[in-house]
Amino acid sequence: MSILTAVSDAMVLCGQPQPNAVVSNTDPTVAKFLAFAQTEAEETGSDFNWRNLNIQMILTGDGTTTLFALPSDFERVLQGQALWSNKYPSIPLQGPISSQDLLALKALPVTPVRPVWRLIGGTLEIWPALSNLEVVNGEYRSTNPIVSSDGLTRKPRWTADSDYTLFPEIILRLGLIWRWKQSKGLDYAEDFRSYTLEREKKAAHEAGAKIVRMSNQLSWNENQWPGVITVTPP
């Protein structure tokens, strides 16, 4: 299971000579298949919540910090997942809220009991600041869909023939076939159908349902507030 086996199998099925190497190969056809493999890794890796691409995120408060740097491979907080504080274990933190909502909260003369959060730039903002040693747990989707043969080194691009994807290889192979046929102006409808069905099936097997992006807004307005508020004496 590797980029070499995936490309070799796909090229044979497409009527092309089987290569002995892929990443270092200068043959234009092999280079094209490698480029297709890169596109496939990025798209399929992002389109589903593959369990091997879900990474735990732990944030520890110090009483003052509100901006936490995101990991270098951060793509998104998983849809349907939440951030949970050990201080409030039964209720997730509210978020992600919009910048407008957060600015409105900061303008009020009161602060929420439980922090809210949003993504801004390369950071995750939690406001008000977490208490000292308060721990928040969550998960994020990694932008590194490829791993080296040691199974440890995650990467965004193919760098060795022994690299493999963190999702099932059959999807990569089927993706290479329909993409090559499409590029040649050949009929690829059935190949694309098989590829799509396989992606959906494999994702369902590991509870990696396709992403459905929906807005998440605070349910409050000028006349109501969902929870308890505290007033800081002047």
pLDDT tens digit sequence for 53-89: 999 999 999 999 999 999 999 999 877 678 999 999 8
107 and 43 in a common domain = no
Q: What is the pLDDT of residue 222?
A: 44
168 and 124 in a common domain = no
Answer yes or no: is 219 within a domain.
no
Answer yes or no: is 229 within a domain.
no
For β-strands 74-77 and 67-69, DSSP reports them as: unpaired
Answer yes or no: is 211 within a domain.
no
Q: What is the pLDDT of residue 231?
A: 52
Q: What is the pLDDT of residue 224?
A: 45
Number of separate domains in the chain: 2
123 and 94 in a common domain = yes
Among all chains, which residue has been given the structure tokens 């505290």? 230
Residue 139, sorted as left (phi over 0), alpha (psi -120 to 50) or beta, turns out to be beta
Residue span of the structural domain in which 55 resides: 51-142
- Beta bridge partners, 230, equal 111
Domain closes at, from 103, 124, 142: 142
Burial 152-180, CB ≥16 within 10 A → b, else e: eebbbebebbebbbbbbebbbbbbbbbbb
Answer yes or no: is 210 within a domain.
no
Distance (Å, whole) CA 16 – CA 25:
14
Answer yes or no: is 212 within a domain.
no
Answer yes or no: is 26 within a domain.
yes
197 and 88 in a common domain = no
186 and 130 in a common domain = no
177 and 124 in a common domain = no
DSSP H helices, the chain, are 3-13, 28-47, 99-107, 169-183, 189-205
66 and 79 in a common domain = yes
Q: What is the pLDDT of residue 220?
A: 47
132 and 70 in a common domain = yes
Q: What is the pLDDT of residue 113?
A: 87
Q: What is the pLDDT of residue 211?
A: 54
Domain closes at, from 102, 122, 142: 142
83 and 149 in a common domain = no
92 and 18 in a common domain = no
Give pTM, 2 decimals.
Answer: 0.81
Q: What is the pLDDT of residue 65?
A: 97
155 and 96 in a common domain = no
158 and 124 in a common domain = no
Answer yes or no: is 221 within a domain.
no
Give every residue of the chain whose pLDDT is below 70, as ranges: 80, 207-234
Return the number of other C-beta atoms located less than 10 Å from residue 47's C-beta: 14
Answer yes or no: is 39 within a domain.
yes
Domain closes at, from 124, 142, 160: 142
